[in-house]
Amino acid sequence: MHALPTGSAPVTRPLTRNDYKTLALSALGGALEFYDFIIFVFFATVVGKLFFPADMPEWLRLLQTFGIFAAGYLARPLGGIVMAHFGDLLGRKRMFTLSIFLMAVPTLLMGLLPTYAQIGILAPLALLLLRVIQGAAIGGEVPGAWVFVAEHVPRRNVGYACGTLTSGLTAGILLGSLMATLINSLYSAEDIAAWAWRVPFVIGGVFGLFSVYLRRWLHETPVFAELQQRKALADELPLKTVLRGHRRAVAISMLLTWVLSAGIVVVILMTPSVLQSAYGFDAAQALKANSLAIVMLSLGCIAAGALADRVGAGKVFVVGSLLLAASSWTFYSQLHAHPDLLFPLYALTGLCVGTIGAVPFVMVNAFPAAVRFTGLSFSYNLAYAIFGGLTPMSVALLLKYSPLGPAYYVLALCGLGLALGLYLLDAERWQATPH
């Protein structure tokens, strides 16, 4: 584990107004970028009907629509590696601004695209291209944002900064959910199919471009500026350095990303449909409970990051994994008997998923500054592409055998989180011991 260099800033200085401005602008941009990436999911059915032939079987249309959504995930590792490469060589700020631009423009264009009825096969092909660009952008945004805020604040506040940024990303999912609810409440199905589905994409694109403008006010990180000054930037391909000299850090970061992706994908993204299909809740109730869980998740991320600064990430993962195991098992196993407990149980589970707010704290400390962006981005995006894709399929298979499928999967990943926490505790003790 590498201690973060702090540029010219003293380790013990308090957070300044400038730090809070950097955090606020970074978290806001992250929220808007995640909204842009996720809004496609909420309107996938409508988009499928408009961008594929009318006589196509429903199952094939859905498959193709979600295939286009998945293409965004598959583009993440490549986009992340390329943007991180230049982020380590040319500067964090440039890539940080570029990533939101590459997300905002395709989102805006999606809202303006002609449909299949107007331009035929070019419509789904254009949609696919825009989705791939979005995937590349999100691949650079998340790791870039963590590195950016971690290198701006004093060393003792890195966890808090990363946790706050992560809560901004989860707030973007909430924005998407609220926008979908609003559009479905205000307009009829006919209006949505005719034109209203375009509104959330256009709004997302416009706000994204506004965020590009806001990011112009951010400064390059002191850590990168110091590396540049000392001419200590990576003298070969940053990825080559990472794969040759930091394999253990890559392995730990990938396993932590698996834990993170399981918490988000299962508890936040999949559970609303499980609540409807397996537990009999109506869509409105499931979405309201989900919104509350996301709010609690955002608070949990900030708390976990701040605790990692105080007591170390090892303890946060040990305690957080045990709490998440207990709360998620109670949530999924007790809902049939106690449907009236949906809101408090889901809120508590969402709060415990917030343990993932400590993940970036470990990852930014795992790599030296010269290859930090590349190391974090490679590990995070590769793991998310693998586990983010496998998780829904695994949970779907488990659901076939038991309604408690999601609980079993989360429980298994809590076991992994606990093991990683114990490993980190050991590493923290070793670091604290004089040699």
Give per-residue pLDDT as tens, 287-296. 889 999 999 9
Torsional class of 135: left (φ above 0), alpha (ψ -120 to 50), beta (otherwise): alpha
Q: Smallest Cα–Cα separation from 304: which of 290, 318, 289, 325?
A: 318
Close Cβ partners of 74 (under 8 Å, ≥ 6 residues apart): 135, 385, 389
Q: What is residue 223's predicted lDDT score, i.e. its pLDDT?
A: 73
- On whether both 159 and 224 belong to a single domain, the answer is yes
> Which of 231, 248, 278 is at the close of a domain?
231
- On whether both 66 and 123 belong to a single domain, the answer is yes
- On whether both 331 and 345 belong to a single domain, the answer is yes
* Residue at 267 is within a domain: yes
Q: Are 22 and 238 in contact (CB under 8 A)?
A: no
Q: Smallest Cα–Cα separation from 180: which of 276, 60, 290?
A: 290
For residue 291, CA distances in Å to 49, 173, 385 come to 27, 9, 25
* Residue at 313 is within a domain: yes
Q: How confident is the model at residue 231 (pLDDT cuts 50, 70, 90)?
A: low
Percentages helix, strand, coil for the chain (3-state, rounded to 5) are: 85, 0, 15
The distance of Cα 347 from the centroid of its chain, to the nearest Å, equals 19
Global pTM reads 0.87
Torsional class of 113: left (φ above 0), alpha (ψ -120 to 50), beta (otherwise): beta
> Which of 181, 208, 231 is at the close of a domain?
231
* Residue at 6 is within a domain: no
CA gap 329, 323 in Å, rounded: 10
Q: Are 248 and 424 in contact (CB under 8 A)?
A: no
- On whether both 73 and 110 belong to a single domain, the answer is yes
| Tokens describing residue 41 | 């999911």
Alpha carbon distance, N-terminus to C-terminus of the chain: 15
Q: Is the pLDDT confidence value at 267 over 60?
A: yes
Q: Smallest Cα–Cα separation from 160: which of 374, 335, 306, 359?
A: 306
* Residue at 4 is within a domain: no
- On whether both 319 and 180 belong to a single domain, the answer is no
- On whether both 127 and 201 belong to a single domain, the answer is yes
Question: What DSSP designation does 235 have?
Answer: S
- On whether both 217 and 263 belong to a single domain, the answer is no
Q: What is residue 9's predicted lDDT score, i.e. its pLDDT?
A: 42
Q: What is residue 12's predicted lDDT score, i.e. its pLDDT?
A: 62
CA gap 423, 351 in Å, rounded: 24
Q: Smallest Cα–Cα separation from 288: which of 263, 271, 301?
A: 271
pLDDT tens digits, residue range 160-208? 999 999 999 899 989 988 898 888 889 888 999 899 999 999 999 998 8
CA gap 396, 286 in Å, rounded: 18
- On whether both 372 and 357 belong to a single domain, the answer is yes
Which residue range(s) make up the domain with 145? Answer: 15-231
Q: How confident is the model at residue 158 (pLDDT cuts 50, 70, 90)?
A: very high
pLDDT tens digits, residue range 345-373? 999 999 999 999 999 999 999 999 888 98
Q: Specify the CATH number for the domain of residue 101.
A: 1.20.1250.20
Q: Is the pLDDT confidence value at 219 over 60?
A: yes
* Residue at 339 is within a domain: yes
- On whether both 268 and 221 belong to a single domain, the answer is no
* Residue at 389 is within a domain: yes
- Residue 131 half-sphere exposure, CB side, CA atoms within 13 Å? 23
* Residue at 2 is within a domain: no
- On whether both 298 and 281 belong to a single domain, the answer is yes
- On whether both 22 and 63 belong to a single domain, the answer is yes
Helices (H), 43-91: 44-51, 58-74, 76-90
Q: Smallest Cα–Cα separation from 370: which of 188, 267, 241, 210?
A: 241
Q: Are 123 and 110 in contact (CB under 8 A)?
A: no
For residue 213, CA distances in Å to 83, 87, 96, 216, 338 come to 19, 19, 12, 5, 49
> Which of 211, 231, 251 is at the close of a domain?
231
* Residue at 10 is within a domain: no
Q: How many domains does the chain have?
A: 2
DSSP string across 82-119: HHHHHHHHH-HHHHHHHHHHHHHHHHHHHHH---HHHH
pLDDT tens digits, residue range 310-333? 999 999 999 999 999 999 999 999
- On whether both 221 and 275 belong to a single domain, the answer is no
Q: Is the pLDDT confidence value at 3 over 90?
A: no
Q: How confident is the model at residue 62 (pLDDT cuts 50, 70, 90)?
A: low
Q: Cα-Cα-Cα-Cα dihedral of 406, 412, 417, 419, to 10°?
A: 170
